[in-house]
Structure 1
Amino acid sequence: MYIDGAFMKELYLAGGPYYGLQEVFSRIRGVARVRAGFANCSSAHPSKEDIYSGKAEGRECIQVIYNPKKIDIVSLLSLFFTIINPYTDGIQGKAVGPQFRSGVYYTSHEDTMQISYYLIFLQNRGQTRRMTDASIVFNEFEGEGGRRPKIRTEMKPLVNFYEAPEEEQYYLRKHPDTYTPINIPLLEELGTIGKAPETLQE
């Protein structure tokens, strides 16, 4: 797709409440647009109530539109797997439920090799350092023999994506006290993400 004359790619990322993910990825250089919504839903245009009640299946997710000349998919994945817990089924901090399962959903088969290679790399990094309160990653895990447990993050083609209502977009900027398991102030302090703009992104 083209935005303002520039070629853009898209990637869909799920991992806990979409509020935090949208806020983080919207502050990354090279990312042109981020929309919150629901991916791979079992029915068309589900409401948030449908997803949470189990009436419709789906994952809370963000659509990331990015300029591949400014940032590559590996950099996006590296950030994503730093701020979410890929070792659980539907648990991200205090957010628990099937709608919070982590996933990487793609629309282009040319991305599948890079995504699968990254997941293999992530799984086989071997010994892990112990998590601390200062870590960006918020979930501490215990693996047998000090090794990483099996990654539970889904890697699937995108079947559908339905945007959340406009009042749900950039929700943390409107309601900064809303819970998110991602330590956004720490990411700001480390320079991983930029400061939040003073006005809401349209």
Structure 2
Amino acid sequence: MYINGAFMKELYLAGGPYYGLQEVFSRVKGVARVRAGFANCSREAPSKEDIYSGKAEGRECIQIIYNPKKIDIVSLLSLFFTVINPYTDGIQGKAVGPQYRSGIYYTSHEDTMQISYYLIFLQNRGITRPMTDAAVVFNEFEGEGGRRPPVRTEMKPLENFYEAPEEEQFYLRKHPHAYTPIHIDLLEELGTIGKAENERK
């Protein structure tokens, strides 16, 4: 797709409440647009209540439109696995439920090799390189006998994506005290992400 004459790619990421991921990736250089919604749903245009009640299967998810000349998919995945827990099935911090399962959903088969390689790297090498000695990630694991648990982040082609209502978009900016397991302030302090749009000069 093209936006303002520039070629753009898209990627869909799920991992916990979508508003935390939306806030993080909207502040990344090279990302042109981020929308919160629901991916791979079993019902057309489901409401949030449909997802939470189980009437419609689906994941809370964000759509990322990015400029591949400014940021690549590996950088996006590296940030993604820094802020989510890939070793749990439907648990991200205090957010528990099948709608919170982590996932990577792609629309282009040319991305599958890079995504697959990254998941293999994650399984073999563990969590992504910490940015500082401070605990930016919360995805520590406790293995028995030094065993690493399997990565449970699913990788699937995107079947559908339905945007959340407008009042749910950039929810943390409207409700700054809402719960998110992601340490957004620390990411901003480290310079990993920029300031929120309404804070920029």
TM-score (norm 2): 0.94
Letter in 2 for 1:4: N
User: 1:89-148, CA deviations, whole angstroms, 9 ceiling, x for partnerless residues?
Assistant: 00000000000000000000000000000000111116999xxx9411124320133342
The answer to whether the 8 Å contact 2:127/2:139 transfers is: no
2:120 counterpart residue number: 120
- Counterpart amino acid of 2:74? V
What is the aligned length? 198
1:145 is paired with a residue whose SS is: helix
Mind listing any 5+ residue stretches in structure 2 that lack a counterpart? Answer: none
Matched residue type, 1:152: R
Aligned-residue CA RMSD (Å): 2.0
Q: TM-score, normalised by structure 1?
A: 0.93
- Mapping of residues 29-108 of structure 1, within 5 Å: 29-108=29-108
Q: 1-side partners of 2:146 and 2:184: how far apart?
A: 28
Percent identity between the aligned chains?
Answer: 87
- Note closer, same or farther for the CA distance 1:87–1:45 as it changes in structure 2 (3 Å cut): same
The residue matched to 1:124 in structure 2 has which SS? Answer: helix
Change (3 A) 1:96 1:137: same
Which SS does the other structure have where 1:21 is aligned? helix
Answer yes or no: is the 8 Å Cα contact 1:27–1:193 preserved in 2.
Answer: yes
Structure 1: stretches of 5+ with no match in the other structure:
none
Shift of the 127–102 alpha-carbon distance from structure 1 to 2, 3 Å rule, reads closer
1:182 corresponds in structure 2 to 182
The one-letter code sitting in structure 1 at the alignment partner of 2:194 is: G
Distance change in 2, residues 1:126/1:75 (3 Å): closer
Corresponding residue of 1:16: 16
CA distance change for structure 1 residues 143 and 108 in 2, over 3 Å: closer, same or farther? Answer: same
Q: Distance in 2 between matches of 1:199 and 1:188?
A: 12
Displacement over 2 Å in runs of 4+: 126-129, 144-148
Change (3 A) 1:46 1:127: closer
Shift of 1:40: 0.1
